[in-house]
């Protein structure tokens, strides 16, 4: 693709005098934005070539020491998990902590696998609408194939742990199945923001866990593969958001600015707060889990998990006054959502 002539010059030029000239200038900027995005997406495809991992050849599932059981102490929660900070968890025996850790791991991975299924459906629908030769077509399919391997890795861990963990609530699956393909085709700005809402929090948590040290070698291997490939997926979603949000009209931009914090807060809680089924299985009141994410520490954990996306929302012009208020009201605000009176988002306070 030849793009050089479309790139905006760095020399200061007077504003175009006529409406037609201004429209042409806007079109030129849009083409330049597309070209820059295409360059990044091509680079992501090149980076992926020959480096994607396979679930059943790149993870030594059956090696000695790689067994997964629900009472394996190597699955205990990392200290930074809000549930691990509760008096209830601290008071458990070592074996009970292992069971809670195994359930939490299995639950998070099942929700993650369901999300990846939805993401693949969206990407496949999107690729149908792309023109032949579009750089995005190649990367969308690269990501689909990687997500498919992630899904198998996640569900293999869940199967081997052997607890009946639940995934996304069924009503969420039904709603997403009904809308995801249409949104992916017709509203890429909303689709890729939704992708970030699913990918960013889990990526952040997995990176924190790897930095703290993952005791179980199978889990460690899968998380390491996942964060490596996920960093490219997140880059794809971020450059797409930066490309597509500026093209929105004022009404759609306001709507997206208001919807984004609701979606981020909902998905982050769905991924991290253990469901009732897990509370029942480990013999604790569900409120112990929900309250763990309502403490200042729990809110800070959630706000931190969406921090990179919140910053991006700010950079692309989605931090409208209503948007800011909603990020704060949802308990996932931060420095970008500080109000004029000097109040900061709850998590940043």
Taking the least distance from each CB to Fe ion, the nearer of 163 and 196 is 196
CB 285 within 8 A of CB 279: yes
Least separation in angstroms between CB 349 and Fe ion:
32
Residue ranges in 146-165 that form contacts with Fe ion under rule CB under 5 A = 147, 150
Least separation in angstroms between CB 269 and Fe ion:
19
Taking the least distance from each CB to Fe ion, the nearer of 114 and 336 is 114
Does residue number 233 form part of the binding site for Fe ion (CB under 5 A)? yes
**Quick one: which segment of 217-225, 232-240, 264-272, 334-342 binds Fe ion (CB under 5 A)?**
232-240
Cα–Cα distance, 157 to 223 (Å, whole number): 11
DSSP labels for 72-88?
-GGGSPPTTSGGGGSHH
| Spatial CA neighbour of 229 closest among 66, 58, 106 | 58
**Quick one: which segment of 41-49, 98-106, 233-241, 325-333 binds Fe ion (CB under 5 A)?**
233-241
Taking the least distance from each CB to Fe ion, the nearer of 232 and 253 is 232
Least separation in angstroms between CB 180 and Fe ion:
15
| Spatial CA neighbour of 301 closest among 193, 203, 168, 204 | 204
Residue ranges in 178-217 that form contacts with Fe ion under rule CB under 5 A = 199
Residue 321, judged by CB atoms within 10 A of its CB (0-12, 13-18, 19+), counts as: exposed
- What residue has token string 């194939």? 145
Alpha-helix runs per DSSP H in the chain: 19-48, 87-90, 94-128, 135-161, 170-186, 188-212, 217-244, 250-272, 276-282, 286-292, 296-305, 307-315, 321-329
Taking the least distance from each CB to Fe ion, the nearer of 147 and 244 is 147
Least separation in angstroms between CB 150 and Fe ion:
4
Residue ranges in 97-156 that form contacts with Fe ion under rule CB under 5 A = 147, 150
Does residue number 238 form part of the binding site for Fe ion (CB under 5 A)? no
Q: Which residues of this chain interact with Fe ion, rule CB under 5 A?
A: 147, 150, 199, 230, 233
């Amino acid at each position: 693709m030849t793009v050089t002539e479309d790139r905006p010059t760095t020399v200061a030029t007077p504003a175009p005098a006529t409406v037609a000239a201004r429209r042409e200038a806007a079109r030129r900027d849009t083409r330049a934005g597309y070209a820059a995005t295409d360059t990044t997406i091509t680079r992501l495809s090149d980076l992926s070539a020959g480096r994607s991992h396979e679930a059943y050849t790149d993870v030594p599932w059956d090696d000695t020491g790689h067994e997964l059981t629900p009472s394996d102490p190597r699955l205990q929660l990392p200290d930074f998990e809000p549930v691990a900070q509760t008096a209830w968890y601290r008071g458990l025996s070592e074996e009970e902590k292992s069971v809670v850790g195994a359930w939490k791991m299995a639950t998070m991975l099942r929700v993650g696998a369901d999300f990846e299924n939805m993401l693949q459906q969206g990407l496949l629908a999107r690729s149908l609408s792309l023109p032949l030769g579009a750089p995005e077509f190649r990367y969308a399919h690269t990501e689909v194939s990687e997500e498919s391997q992630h899904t198998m890795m996640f569900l293999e861990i869940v199967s081997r742990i052997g607890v009946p963990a639940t995934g996304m609530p069924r009503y969420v699956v039904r709603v997403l199945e009904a809308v995801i393909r249409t949104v992916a085709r017709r509203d890429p700005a909303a689709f890729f923001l939704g992708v970030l809402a699913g990918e960013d929090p889990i990526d952040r948590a997995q990176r924190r866990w790897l930095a703290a040290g993952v005791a179980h070698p199978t889990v460690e291997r899968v998380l390491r593969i996942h964060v490596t490939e996920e960093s490219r997926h997140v880059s794809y979603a971020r450059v797409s958001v930066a490309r597509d949000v500026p093209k929105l009209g004022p009404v759609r931009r306001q709507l997206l600015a208001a919807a984004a914090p609701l979606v981020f807060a909902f998905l982050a809680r769905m991924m991290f707060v253990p469901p009732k089924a897990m509370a029942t299985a480990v013999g604790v009141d569900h409120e112990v889990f929900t309250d763990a994410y309502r403490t200042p520490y729990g809110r800070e954990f959630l706000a931190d998990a969406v921090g990179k996306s919140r910053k991006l929302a700010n950079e692309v012009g989605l931090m409208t006054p209503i948007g800011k208020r909603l990020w704060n009201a949802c308990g996932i605000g931060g420095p970008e959502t500080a109000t004029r009176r000097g109040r900061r988002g709850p998590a940043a306070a």
